[in-house]
């Protein structure tokens, strides 16, 4: 999100904007992550993986270079997510346009829970707080 705001200031106001601009930086993110992985360091990707297609892109980052991986799926109730979004919006007022309950539900309606058949080393953490 910091990169998107730096590269495209004040241009992300909707889910469509986010999809458009995040797609533009994916090649850069992928190249950088692969370079770091090749050097022997770990990379933590905090990138949307809500759909099978989004996770396929994430998988390509490590699989193309034969790097180890782990997909950590945080299973969190909506009310906890919404409380965290509200807190973040209050702490970072510049996110007020996108960190909304409406945006949360726009995004989560596309969510597909990760499954073992996607080929990830999957760890699921159930969080209630």
In this prediction, residue 109 carries a pLDDT of 94
Please list, in sequence order, all residues whose beta carbon lies within 8 angstroms of the beta carbon of residue 94, skipping any fewer than 6 positions away: 5
Q: How many domains does the chain have?
A: 1
Note down the domain range covering 85. 2-126
| Sign of torsion over alpha carbons 70, 18, 6, 57 | positive
Condensed to tens digits (0 to 9), the pLDDT of residues 94-113 reads 888 888 999 999 999 999 99
Residues of the chain with pLDDT under 70: none
Dist. CA 125–CA 10, nearest whole Å: 34
Nearest by Cα to 113 from 61, 45, 64, 54: 54
């Amino acid at each position: 999100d910091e990169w998107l705001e730096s590269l495209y200031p004040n241009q992300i106001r909707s889910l469509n904007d986010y999809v458009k601009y995040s797609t533009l930086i994916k090649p850069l993110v992928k190249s950088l992550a692969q370079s770091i992985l090749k050097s022997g360091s770990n990379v933590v990707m905090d990138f949307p993986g809500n759909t099978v297609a989004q996770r396929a892109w994430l998988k390509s980052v490590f699989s193309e270079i034969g790097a180890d991986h782990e997909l950590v799926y945080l299973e969190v109730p909506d009310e906890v997510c919404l409380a965290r979004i509200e807190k973040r919006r209050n702490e970072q007022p510049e996110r007020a346009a996108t960190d909304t309950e409406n945006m949360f539900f726009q995004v989560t309606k596309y969510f597909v829970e990760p499954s073992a058949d996607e080929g990830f080393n999957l760890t699921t953490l159930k969080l209630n707080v």
